[in-house]
Amino acid sequence: MSLNIRVIAPDGLIWDTTADEVVLPSLTGQLGILTGHAPLITALEIGILRIKVNSSWKPIIVLGGFAVIKNDEVIVLISGVEEIIKQDYSQTKDVLDQATKILELAQTTKEKIDASQKVKIASSKLQAFQFLES
């Protein structure tokens, strides 16, 4: 048996496939979903959504949202998505360093929130590189 997963962003369908396993970036940590999982609705944090297909992991960076799990179907509605390009590793490290500096210097609440989100996105991208195939 397998899971059916659909990932939907405001601008359209991102993924519609079957998977062996799904790992969601929930607000309380990484949430693994296998076939037979209990029904669940969960909010999602900025982070890596991983889908295991044919023994390999496919990562995408989601920018928050929520997921509904029921009857071996996972529907993920996200606020946005970030592309992961293997050649961007060093550039992503630079973005993380820069965002971290901006966060340290942030004065207003809005500046802190914006910088914090950029740090989360860049950090998630760096972590996702380990799941990209060579």
**Percentage with pLDDT > 70 across the chain:** 97
- Do 69 and 15 belong to one domain? yes
Digit-coded pLDDT (tens) for 51-73:
998 888 889 999 999 999 999 99
Strand, helix or coil for residue 73: strand
Place 96 in a pLDDT band, splitting at 50, 70 and 90: confident
Q: Which DSSP string corresponds to 79-127?
A: S-EE---GGGHHHHHHHHHHHHHHHHH--SHHHHHHHHHHHHHHHHHHH
- Do 67 and 126 belong to one domain? no
- Do 59 and 121 belong to one domain? no
- Do 12 and 67 belong to one domain? yes
- Please report the pLDDT score of residue 95 as a whole number: 81
- Of 61, 71, 47, 55, the residue nearest 14 (C-alpha): 61
Domains of the chain: total:
2
- Do 9 and 26 belong to one domain? yes
Cβ atoms of 45 and 27 closer than 8 Å: yes
- Do 69 and 122 belong to one domain? no
Place 133 in a pLDDT band, splitting at 50, 70 and 90: low
